[in-house]
Structure 1
């Protein structure tokens, strides 16, 4: 519990902006990354989660989430991997496949069995015949259990891109 509180405090005190699931988490993130060496394996899990969404592989995407993961987006919450699977996972995968994004900045750290990865990005394209231009932020908190990083919490938000 102390590690979770410490990770939350780091997030609050460092004033870091973050990104959305549609962002293309690829080599561009490395160019603007402030992810500590201890958090790189957790960041790789975040990237694998997004890659699975972009492939439409919802089964693989779910495998990166803890059973009790909390997903916050647009004022809503999904409590647990199964609730996310039955509500927004399919739509998130469809959107990620259709609308490319880029990572503009990333930061993260890990202390013991808890890590946080904060990403900023931009998502532009067309989805269901609607133009998309969003500045995106994402925070993921991960927990290492049995040597494996799992996503315990996701917070996504976005705003209209600059005109």
Structure 2
């Protein structure tokens, strides 16, 4: 599978959630999260919702300037690099497929939080059927009362 397509799979995990919110977060997924980490989880969901709407400017607003993004062995170092490389493709992919979060966990430690999501993405993208299991880890930092994503790690398997 092409690296760009694998990268897009990871993005789609929550991205399609905005287009299909009823399938993004089963009640049991976020209900299991401690209430202290739920604001960070909301930022993760907001990032994906913006991608699914095609609102790439809003999506970038959820990222710290120095965010590091890992996917399929590749690295994008910083918000500007992500914006110039995969952002548009990730948004297009997110708009084309349906992603469901099946399990989520997370934890808060001072001004750092991590959110780990598992899911499944299905649909068709560029004429090819998509049916993958996805995992995503996001690390967020709180500064001035606002959470920003500082690290994303996406992975998927057929």
Q: Establish whether TM, by shorter chain, passes 0.5.
A: yes
The CA deviation string for residues 83-123 of structure 1, in whole angstroms up to 9 with x for no partner, is 00000000000000001110100001111100000000000
Number of the residue aligned with 1:10: none
For this pair of structures, how many residues does the alignment match? 142
Unaligned runs of 5+ in 2: 1-8
Number of the residue aligned with 1:51: 49
Distance 2:29 2:145 in 1: 27
Q: CA deviation at 1:30?
A: 3.3
Is 1:158 the counterpart of 2:156? The answer is yes
Number of the residue aligned with 1:31: 28
Q: CA deviation at 1:32?
A: 2.6
Number of the residue aligned with 1:92: 90
Deviating beyond 2 angstroms after TM superposition, the runs of 4 or more aligned structure 1 residues are 23-30
Unaligned runs of 5+ in 1: 1-18
Matches within 5 A, 1:69-108: 69-108=67-106
Residues 62, 159 of structure 1: alpha-carbon distance in 2 compared, 3 angstrom cutoff: same
Distance 2:29 2:141 in 1: 24
Query: What SS does the corresponding residue of 1:42 show, helix, strand or coil?
Result: helix
TM-score normalised to the size of structure 2?
Answer: 0.86
Q: Report the aligned-residue RMSD.
A: 1.4
Distance 2:139 2:13 in 1: 17
TM-score normalised to the size of structure 1?
Answer: 0.83
